[in-house]
Amino acid sequence: MTITHAGLAPSRAGEHFLPLDPTHPRVAAHRPLALDILADYGDPTSGADRVKAIVDWVARTAIHGHSALRAGMSPTDNVATLPLGSDWDDVTAQLTETQQNIDNAYWATFGHDAAAMLDVLLGTLQPNGTRLNDGAMQHVSGSLYRYKSIPDIRSVWCSWQHDMCTLLLATLGYPSMLSSIIGHDPMRVQYGDRGEWGYFCATYNESYELNGGSAPLDLLDLRDLGPALVVSVKHGGPGWDPMSYITASYLGDNPGGWPELAVVLDSRIVPLGAADRRKRAVESPTLDASGLFAATPRCSERVARPYLGAYLRGLPIAGRFRVESSWPGSTGLVRREGSNWVASSPFGFVGPDAVEIAPVDANGQRGPAILVEP
């Protein structure tokens, strides 16, 4: 018998990751926006491409103030979200270093509450799904919003960009984890059918793959591989602005790569002034006891890269096994029958045919499955 899935059953004996709950009313209310984004990016079907669409949209909409990120762009490239008649020279003049620091302090007052951030950016979301015209941006169509004026643009630094990504991705069934590396806070997302994690970044609008191509690599993989074996991959744009956005890369600005990293183990909406959301440095031979995360509590790689999906509860007894789920928002299980998925009980038997069971949420989105083969 072979049991295939990407991780181990969750351990509740020690520290563990707390994902954002996709059923939280203030999270679930943003699913229509996430679906609008996917529609404007051509309705991608793979998990990696769906994550890239959300990340690219946040990069273009919640603008980072550092002009060096756009150093290779013309001032008139990627201006769909800018006020009509303006260009990036206008933005650079507005977002001075002093102003960026003021803006960062402003976003920090939201305490990682991305729903509140999106309200002030796009307009206050109403119970009927519409938004008031009280945000920094004006709705144009679909997922396109445009800043009303240059002074309305507040620089959104990396942590706040990725809080917004975390909320939107949660509505689509993709748990994510804020992380820290040298000079930057990117995110890691569980995006694969088997629970694979990948590094995705809105600030640089990129992910990383092996030279020659691969699925997006996780930050833990990048740490172990080193910068020589990987390449930055830029994310494609929406129908309303298909040109690639952001020319710089993290590796271009930090050639040493990712020798150390820390993760934030609490992705939930937390009150302002709450604890540090359990930031932990990930143990590894390259973790420098006197380096960037010297004073940060430690965690194991297993804690930093959890498996969220269907898993086997104990070992099969007399060929009978039980499947449970650690996937956030799961409302039940489904079993593959040919090309279809049908409702399933948590029990199965090892037989002559493979059995594949996955969690499913209220929107019909499947999480990572477990495959039991004879």
Residue 30 phi/psi, 5° resolution? Answer: -95, 5
Residue 252: C-alpha distances to residues 32, 159, 189, 287 (Å): 36, 20, 22, 22
Encode the chain (374 residues) as per-residue pLDDT tens digits: 465 654 445 555 567 899 999 999 999 999 999 999 999 999 999 999 999 999 999 999 999 999 999 998 999 999 999 999 999 999 999 999 999 999 999 999 998 899 999 999 999 999 999 999 999 999 999 999 999 999 999 999 999 999 999 999 999 999 999 999 999 999 999 998 888 999 999 999 999 999 988 899 999 999 999 999 999 999 999 999 999 999 999 999 999 999 999 999 999 876 555 556 789 999 988 777 778 898 899 999 989 999 999 998 877 788 888 999 999 999 999 999 998 999 999 998 887 888 899 999 999 999 999 888 87
Residue whose structure tokens are 């691969």: 214
**Phi-psi map region of 111: left, alpha, beta (phi>0 left; psi -120 to 50 alpha):** left
Q: In what order do the strands lie in the sheet with 310-312?
A: 310-312, 320-325, 347-349
* Nearest-10 crossing angle of helices 31-40, 47-61: 100
